[in-house]
A and B are shown apart, each in its own frame.
Chain A
Amino acid sequence: EIVLTQSPATLSLSPGERATLSCRASQSVSSYLAWYQQKPGQAPRLLIYDASNRATGIPARFSGSGSGTDFTLTISSLEPEDFAVYYCQQRSNWRTFGQGTKLEIK
């Protein structure tokens, strides 16, 4: 099983700041990695797929990078609606999710 480790567990920032979230895989997943956003009481929403491609309707402030074992989700300038929990997910071998990073308002 491929384990995804996200860091930090919690990130406290203010609107307008830049957010950098990390996801590390226990073995290479090539570029088969996605990022999801989940708000309380809602299902997750696909943001980024294949490491760096934005899903339909996702604002340009969201970007993804990385390959192999190290990946990053960057939100260039935080909007109030961006405060949520973010999960990475790989599809290289079965499907697994990271444990999540909570992005909270400072």
Chain B
Amino acid sequence: QVQLQESGPGLVKPSETLSLTCTVSDVSISGYSWSWIRQPPGKGLEWIGYIYYSGSTNYNPSLKSRVTISVDTSKNQFSLKLSSVTAADTAVYYCARDGLNWYFDLWGRGTLVTVSS
């Protein structure tokens, strides 16, 4: 069964860089695009960006200046870096596959990242 698992620090200090990794199991990362999506506590969903397995990326224009998504096909992983974080970046961060007709058909369980000193 295909699984996605987010990992990384649950607490990040303001102005620092948030770093998360998504490990994909039981399916090759090749041939798909892979996204990061976040959800502040009690709020809605926000798409952060996606990376194609070849390495090409597209980012949410509102976050583009602070976001970097990368892929490591040898490890079947992709990663998120979000710089200069503030309390507004506190959220559950999900990784997801842009699969069925380029919609998010597989999701990780999500990981809560809190920005606080």
Q: Which residues of A pack against B, CB within 8 Å? A: 1, 34, 36, 42-46, 49-50, 53, 55-56, 87, 89, 91, 94-100
A-B contact count (CB 8 A): 56
Q: Would A46 and B105 be within 8 Å (CB), given that A94-B61, A95-B35 are in contact?
A: yes
Interface size class of B (residues with CB under 8 A): 20 to 34
In the complex formed, the residue of B with least CB distance to A43 is: B107
> A100 and B94: CB pair below 8 A?
no
In the complex formed, the residue of A with least CB distance to B109 is: A43
Q: Is the interface of B mostly helix, strand, loop or mixed?
A: mixed
> A50 and B104: CB pair below 8 A?
no
Q: Which residues of B pack against A, CB within 8 Å? A: 35, 44-47, 50, 58, 60-62, 94, 96, 100-105, 107-110
Q: Which of A34, A46, A53, A89 has the most CB of B within 10 A?
A: A46
- Shortest C-beta distance, B20 to chain A (Å), equals 15
> B58 and A55: CB pair below 8 A?
no
